[in-house]
Chain A
Amino acid sequence: MPGDADGPIEGDDTDPGGLALTAAQLRETYPDARYAGQCRERFTLPAEPADHVPAAEVLPPDLAATLSVDPWRHQADALAALERGENVCVTTSTSSGKTYVYALDIARRFREDPDVRALLVYPTKALSRDQERELNDLFDDLGLDVTVGVYDGDTKRREKSRIREEANVVITNFAGLNQYLEGHHRWAAFHANCDLLVVDEAHAWTGVSGMHAAWILRRARRVIEWYGGDPQYVLTSATIGNPADHAEALTGEPATVIDDDGSPSGRRHLVFWDPPTDGGAGEGGDGNDEGTARRPSKRPATVEAPEVWAHCCYHGVPSLLFCDSRTGTELAVGRAREFLETPSLPYRGGADLAAYNAGHGKRSRRGTENRLKSGALDGVATTSALEVGIDVGGIDGTVLLGYPGSRQSFWQRIGRSGRGEREALSVFVPSHSTLDQYVCNHPEYLLEEDPESAVVDLENNPVYLQHLRCAAQELPLRREDAARFGGRERLEQAVEYGRRTGEFEGSLAGGITYAHRDRPQDEISLYAAGGNTFEIRLAGEGSIDHQPIGRARAYRDYHEGATVLYRGDQYEVVALREDRPQPYVELEEADLDYYTQSQRRTTIYDTEIRESRDVGNFRLNWGYGTVTVHHGTFMKRDLESGDVREVGLETGVPPLEMRTQLCWAEVPADVERAVTAAHSDYHNDECEELPPRLHGYLGGIHAVEHAMIAVAPLELAVDAADLGGLATNRLPDGTDASGWFIYDGIEGGLGFSRRIYEEYEAVARRARDLWVDCDCGRDEGCPACLMSDRCGNDNRPLYGPAARDVIDAVLDDGSAAPRPDRADGDRDERRPPASIS
């Protein structure tokens, strides 16, 4: 990203006192008529001075002389590590010049050997082009004739051969690399001289796409080595909880973590701005308070955030407002203008505001970018399009409409304001959803605790097989490859599997080759596991650049009648077809004021324990199981307020059976007895099918399952939609104990349930806090704590007090109560099975 590249060179020294509003001033200037205590939290993050290292210490003298500014500490550390022959993983803040690390390393190598080559893998095509310009500018500044080329689906054929032959630096993406490995003989010279392999935004490779990326890198490395190359890795990453492990999981090699950030930052004012309860603060509530009789509803963040943003822009704090959809950006600009024009409010003259999203076309977006940079605009409402990449110039403020789903993205967005040592103001306006409310109630989560961990699981065999086919097609697979491809035992088993299915020929001694004439690379979709993918098409003439999706996701979110938000645009699914060789989903552009969510019913059987451990008195297991998920119905919700419009609509998709990874907790008999007795009074009239005495207890373990899944994204870089759960009073493993499952919603598993198994206590603790600290104060919870949109049991029963007791028992270290005798006589009593997913 250019923000990275403009690091130390420009040496920006704008007046740090230039910020027009501090947090306190935001509060003071806000119109009294519209203020009812929204400043829920206020923080001041201190300024960090720059920590430079003299260029001559880490770079050859003539190269150091051409640099106008000394590198920052982390850049110097990384360059030194690279010089020692180590791989590095640089995890420092936004705009800390991570690009410089590999750019300077390439420059250094180029001076020694003008034939040097480096392969740079970026997350998106858009970022690739941006980066090409930045790198070219930098090498120009350094007076080096380093050739940079972007090699992806948009590169012209003639260009491609020139880039392969001549470019020192080739920029591509993982989907492209997966394909290009097949024609590796064309890259012979490149591979032979390849000294550096760079993975940018490495934190983004987590979950399904992470495991594909990891295998693609192993394939690339193998091919490069065939031609004699021996590259070092540079990974750049946002701050994550496990940078060393993640780097090793992705590349298969250890890396030195560089996290001592030497880049400067100005003082930052951060405000958590909790929207007022509706009716409590003037007009403008959009009448969305019907249908939620449970408690006085808050003004939606979609209404409140644009007003705060307008206020900042009006008061001379040029600001970005981050929204989650294209439509959202347009609506926000309208709302903000309206707000500034309200006669009863003290604004005179308005502010120059604009919306920015990918729907606007290149020229219009360039125009907006330039007006923003030149100061002609006071504010821009944007989708994630401005989160990374494009230089936004002197932005002082950022307003976040809702929590963007990960801490990494939160800080990335916040970090778009306040370049260099200039002060900045950031406002977070939480919406009424689980993660937003949790973060709002637990600011320490953002400010103090370790960030989420990225999860890359190489355990998934269907995905492993896909990449083995590719590897065997690229170069014969031999026994020496075992270290890189799953170890000898697993490789041998996979090879035997492939020989039996007719895909592989030969032996590991001489070389396993791929037996078919097709290209197994074509079967890889970075966002799906193990083939069987659905193409995404647009009805009629148009086309859509949407990755194929896996079946589980298609059934869940792309059934007929579902709404799909893609790159900020709204679509409706008009067809899902799989009665043909290439299954597909057909979308139609839509302008709807609702969105849909499907509900699922789950059954689990054939569980197989791979690992177990004790947590409190609970037995915790991790292993494999067969999960049948049926996303049979869906509901429509109001786009603005989230209120339920219709429920029980048919999706028309069949149940999906998958063999996947899961973890489950067995509740000890005494805990079950105690919690059941303590909450036997609780009764939910709508759960007739369950024994009345058990409503409290079952509501408890059901709530634990929901809450643990809901908070998982706080610990792991996971989309909660890829997890599922089931609470049951009789586990299918014959123990007859009650318990709850959390499973990976993808054939073969993703490694998430595995990580939850490992970090069970932390996740359980957060799940407990979620309900205990929730503002709703209801025993049955609310959509922001215990309730799940996916619940196939319509969120019944859910019972917070019992859930708290169960989690307390999980977290009990065992000192309070002795471990109960497992041969407890009470176990003999057969209970009716009851499962709630």
Chain B
Amino acid sequence: MPDEGGADLLALRCDAVADLDEAAVRDALEYFGPDLVYVVRESSDVRVVSRVRRAADSPVVAAAGPAEIRTETVAGISFCFAGSTSLLADAPAADYLVCDDLEPTTDAVALEATLAGREAAARYRSRSSREPTFLTGALPASYDHVWEGAVDGESVRLPVRGLAPLERSGAAELACLTCGRAGSVAVSSVPADRFGLGALSGVGPTTARRLRKNGYETRAAVADAAATALSSIDGLGPSTAREIVHSARALADGRVVRTTADPLPPAGDATPLFVDIETDGLQPTTIPLIGVYDPASDDYVDFVDTAPSREDPGRATREFVSWLAAEYDAPSLVAWNGHGFDYDHLERFIARYTPEYRAYWHDHVATYDPYDWAVRRGNAVLPGRTNRLEDVAAALGRDREGAAATLDGKTFAERLRRLLEGSSESEAPTIDWTAARRYCEADVRELAAVYEAIAVADPKPTDPAGARPANEPTQTGLTDF
């Protein structure tokens, strides 16, 4: 969340929520608690829009409505919605100008990209005393680019953000934008199919329909059901039915439900060492902050490079791994989605910036990923709307407070990137390293708590027929692409 607060704008695209019934739409609205709902123009469907209107307490603006100007002021932030860029000439000033006509037009052969509606947007900007942020449903919510426009030979900045659902591995994620007064926008997102019965693992649109048809309208109803009752529904096998019930209970009770009897790795005597890295993005160019928590000694240590530079992006990594090698002969690292992120990049940075530790890392360090173990390998069902660490931790009752709650990884990454880019810019942000370190520490401790919650959850009684050998420890490098 941005520290200045702001208005929450939930943007929907009809095709992404077409499978949600009214209860599920209500569930989504409750989850995000938006001040304002916007239905983008693309793929508009009147039935879906009316479903959203019935479910919403907040104002709902649909882009496909009459081409007109509409303004809404919520939480002290003003939004102006314009049905087309031709209407911008008469549009009143606002903090945010929403118009789905704004969209890059591209010519890949000539390597040229321009913004459709740029002139109208620039004139709108020049009439306004403050700098509005332009929002468009024609682009995904990850979109964030400052275009340049010109009015009467004067150049103006046109910050453009997207609103449409994010695409992740082919699935749409609904995005809610927290729009601050100064144009700062923070995005949170949840897969569109994770609402209503869809929030249950193993339930897609078809299964949701089957459940509803059989009288299971809500997650609570499913949580109360016996797996055997569910498996009598046509098309639901016993194992799917169990998975659904487990998941409903996990969500309802805010606890971990184990679905196998396998022990949570690392098994045996090894004590886990919890790790998290903070970077400047999904493909990091630098890792300036690494936090480590050892539950055995209850010590938290971090490695931080408060003056990150392009010249030596691996400084913190080097300090971390040399400390690790000095302190632990054969550590068992535990990181959330470590096999999808942290370990990959640590390994890459070690190879490049401190190759003398490559052999140690490779031969002596065991790496574990409870997210991978629980979710991808199907050993446990976690509470939380998504399986992101902060969602799982919140569902387990751990809420963040203080400095740690004012920051999130993506915001940190953006600031860090601007800091690194901005050596020439006068407006390069400063990073509050104290807050960043607290945030990182909160993350690592949350990880330890979630790990503990998984570890203490009752394992499913061993099924003698289907007993599997315990998972081997997952060494770095064993997973595949």
- By a beta-carbon cutoff of 8 Å, the part of chain A in contact with chain B is 157, 160-161, 164-165, 179-180, 182-186, 188-189, 192, 226-228, 461-462, 465, 472-473, 475-476, 490, 493-494, 496-497, 499-502, 505-507, 509-511, 513-518, 530, 624, 659-660, 747-749
Instruction: Tell me the minimal C-beta distance from B278 to chain A in angstroms.
Output: 16
B285 touches A189 (CB 8 A): no
A462 touches B109 (CB 8 A): yes
Whole-angstrom distance between the alpha carbons of A505 and B143 in the complex? 10
A-B contact pairs, 5 of them (CB 8 A): A461-B108, A461-B109, A461-B110, A502-B143, A510-B420
A497 touches B144 (CB 8 A): no
B111 touches A515 (CB 8 A): no
Q: A189-B358, A461-B111, A518-B167 are in contact. Are A502 and B139 (CB under 8 A)?
A: yes
Instruction: Tell me the minimal C-beta distance from A608 to chain B in angstroms.
Output: 9
A465 touches B108 (CB 8 A): yes
Q: Identify which of B23-31, B90-98, B345-353 touches chain A.
A: B345-353
Q: A499-B145, A510-B420, A517-B282 are in contact. Are A659 and B481 (CB under 8 A)?
A: no
Question: What residues of chain B lie closer than 8 Å to A518, measured between beta carbons?
Answer: 167-170
Question: What residues of chain B lie closer than 8 Å to A506, measured between beta carbons?
Answer: 281, 285, 417, 421
Q: A462-B109, A509-B421, A659-B110 are in contact. Are A476 and B283 (CB under 8 A)?
A: yes
User: Nearest chain-A residue to B347 (Cβ)?
Assistant: A185
Instruction: Tell me the minimal C-beta distance from B45 to chain A in angstroms.
Output: 17
B110 touches A473 (CB 8 A): no
B481 touches A180 (CB 8 A): yes
Question: What residues of chain A lie closer than 8 Å to B144, measured between beta carbons?
Answer: 502
From the candidates A494, A499, A513, A530, name the one contacting B283 in the complex (CB within 8 A).
A513
User: Nearest chain-B residue to A179 (Cβ)?
Assistant: B481
From the candidates B113, B477, B481, name the one contacting A501 in the complex (CB within 8 A).
B113
Whole-angstrom distance between the alpha carbons of A299 and B156 in the complex? 75
Main secondary structure of the interface of B (DSSP, over half): mixed
Beyond A502-B143, A747-B109, A748-B109, 14 extra complex contacts between A and B, CB < 8 Å = A182-B481, A183-B344, A186-B477, A188-B347, A192-B355, A465-B111, A476-B285, A499-B145, A500-B115, A502-B104, A506-B281, A513-B285, A516-B142, A660-B109
Q: Is B147 an interface residue (CB 8 A)?
A: yes
User: Nearest chain-B residue to A581 (Cβ)?
Assistant: B170
The proximity string for B residues 146-187 relative to A, scoring 1 for CB distances below 8 Å and 0 otherwise, is 010000000000000010000111100000000000000000
Q: Is B106 an interface residue (CB 8 A)?
A: yes
B477 touches A164 (CB 8 A): yes
From the candidates A510, A517, A660, name the one contacting B169 in the complex (CB within 8 A).
A517
From the candidates A165, A179, A494, A507, name the one contacting B111 in the complex (CB within 8 A).
A494
From the candidates A165, A184, A501, name the one contacting B348 in the complex (CB within 8 A).
A184
Cβ < 8 Å to A, chain B residues 95-138: 104, 106-115
Whole-angstrom distance between the alpha carbons of A227 and B106 in the complex? 36
Instruction: Tell me the minimal C-beta distance from B47 to chain A in angstroms.
Output: 21
Whole-angstrom distance between the alpha carbons of A511 and B286 in the complex? 10
B111 touches A517 (CB 8 A): no
Q: A157-B480, A515-B142 are in contact. Are A501 and B104 (CB under 8 A)?
A: yes
Instruction: Tell me the minimal C-beta distance from A212 to chain B in angstroms.
Output: 16
Question: What residues of chain A lie closer than 8 Å to B283, measured between beta carbons?
Answer: 472-473, 475-476, 513-514
User: Nearest chain-B residue to A466 (Cβ)?
Assistant: B108
Question: What residues of chain B lie closer than 8 Å to A530, measured between beta carbons?
Answer: 108
Whole-angstrom distance between the alpha carbons of A161 and B481 in the complex? 11
From the candidates A165, A180, A500, A510, name the one contacting B285 in the complex (CB within 8 A).
A510
Q: Is B362 an interface residue (CB 8 A)?
A: yes
A497 touches B145 (CB 8 A): no
User: Nearest chain-B residue to A531 (Cβ)?
Assistant: B108
Question: What residues of chain A lie closer than 8 Å to B112, measured between beta carbons?
Answer: 497
B358 touches A188 (CB 8 A): yes
Question: What residues of chain B lie closer than 8 Å to A517, measured between beta carbons?
Answer: 168-169, 282
Question: What residues of chain A lie closer than 8 Å to B417, measured between beta carbons?
Answer: 505-506, 510
Whole-angstrom distance between the alpha carbons of A189 and B285 in the complex? 21
Closest 4 CB pairs of A and B: A511-B285, A500-B113, A513-B283, A183-B481
From the candidates A161, A180, A185, A500, name the one contacting B147 in the complex (CB within 8 A).
A500
B142 touches A185 (CB 8 A): no
Q: Is B310 an interface residue (CB 8 A)?
A: yes
A502 touches B107 (CB 8 A): no
Instruction: Tell me the minimal C-beta distance from A168 to chain B in angstroms.
Output: 18
A502 touches B108 (CB 8 A): no
Q: Is B140 an interface residue (CB 8 A)?
A: yes
Whole-angstrom distance between the alpha carbons of A184 and B283 in the complex? 13
Question: What residues of chain B lie closer than 8 Å to A180, measured between beta carbons?
Answer: 481
A502 touches B169 (CB 8 A): no
Q: Is B229 an interface residue (CB 8 A)?
A: no
Q: Is B296 an interface residue (CB 8 A)?
A: no
A659 touches B109 (CB 8 A): yes
Question: What residues of chain A lie closer than 8 Å to B282, measured between beta carbons?
Answer: 513-515, 517
Q: A476-B285, A518-B169 are in contact. Are A228 and B481 (CB under 8 A)?
A: no
Q: A494-B111, A501-B113, A506-B417 are in contact. Are A161 and B477 (CB under 8 A)?
A: yes
B110 touches A502 (CB 8 A): no
A510 touches B421 (CB 8 A): yes
Q: Is B465 an interface residue (CB 8 A)?
A: no
A497 touches B345 (CB 8 A): no
Question: What residues of chain B lie closer than 8 Å to A164, measured between beta carbons?
Answer: 477
The proximity string for B residues 387-415 relative to A, scoring 1 for CB distances below 8 Å and 0 otherwise, is 00000000000000000000000000000
A509 touches B140 (CB 8 A): no
Whole-angstrom distance between the alpha carbons of A192 and B355 in the complex? 10
A509 touches B111 (CB 8 A): no
Q: A157-B480, A226-B352, A513-B282 are in contact. Are A501 and B109 (CB under 8 A)?
A: no
Whole-angstrom distance between the alpha carbons of A490 and B112 in the complex? 11
Instruction: Tell me the minimal C-beta distance from A194 to chain B in angstroms.
Output: 13
User: Nearest chain-A residue to B346 (Cβ)?
Assistant: A185
Question: What residues of chain A lie closer than 8 Å to B113, measured between beta carbons?
Answer: 496-497, 500-501
Question: What residues of chain B lie closer than 8 Å to A511, measured between beta carbons?
Answer: 285, 310
A160 touches B145 (CB 8 A): no
Whole-angstrom distance between the alpha carbons of A180 and B481 in the complex? 8
Q: Most B CB atoms within 10 A — which of A165, A465, A510, A517? A: A510
A188 touches B147 (CB 8 A): no
B478 touches A192 (CB 8 A): no
A490 touches B111 (CB 8 A): yes
The proximity string for B residues 443-481 relative to A, scoring 1 for CB distances below 8 Å and 0 otherwise, is 000000000000000000000000000000000011011
A227 touches B477 (CB 8 A): no
Whole-angstrom distance between the alpha carbons of A505 and B111 in the complex? 17
Question: What residues of chain A lie closer than 8 Å to B421, measured between beta carbons?
Answer: 506-507, 509-510
User: Nearest chain-B residue to A192 (Cβ)?
Assistant: B351
Instruction: Tell me the minimal C-beta distance from A16 to chain B in angstroms.
Output: 52
Q: Most A CB atoms within 10 A — which of B108, B142, B169, B420? A: B108
From the candidates B107, B143, B355, name the one contacting A659 in the complex (CB within 8 A).
B107
Whole-angstrom distance between the alpha carbons of A517 and B142 in the complex? 10
Instruction: Tell me the minimal C-beta distance from A816 to chain B in angstroms.
Output: 40
Question: What residues of chain B lie closer than 8 Å to A476, measured between beta carbons?
Answer: 283, 285
Whole-angstrom distance between the alpha carbons of A465 and B283 in the complex? 18
The proximity string for B residues 340-383 relative to A, scoring 1 for CB distances below 8 Å and 0 otherwise, is 00001101100110010010001000000000000000000000
Whole-angstrom distance between the alpha carbons of A182 and B109 in the complex? 26
Question: What residues of chain A lie closer than 8 Å to B114, measured between beta carbons?
Answer: 500
A185 touches B145 (CB 8 A): no
Question: What residues of chain A lie closer than 8 Å to B115, measured between beta carbons?
Answer: 500
Question: What residues of chain A lie closer than 8 Å to B147, measured between beta carbons?
Answer: 500
The proximity string for B residues 417-443 relative to A, scoring 1 for CB distances below 8 Å and 0 otherwise, is 100110000000000000000000000
Instruction: Tell me the minimal C-beta distance from B412 to chain A in angstroms.
Output: 14
User: Nearest chain-A residue to B358 (Cβ)?
Assistant: A188
Question: What residues of chain A lie closer than 8 Å to B170, measured between beta carbons?
Answer: 518
User: Nearest chain-A residue to B140 (Cβ)?
Assistant: A502
B109 touches A624 (CB 8 A): yes
Instruction: Tell me the minimal C-beta distance from B453 to chain A in angstroms.
Output: 27
Question: What residues of chain B lie closer than 8 Å to A499, measured between beta carbons?
Answer: 145
User: Nearest chain-A residue to B351 (Cβ)?
Assistant: A188
B477 touches A502 (CB 8 A): no
A227 touches B109 (CB 8 A): no
A501 touches B106 (CB 8 A): yes
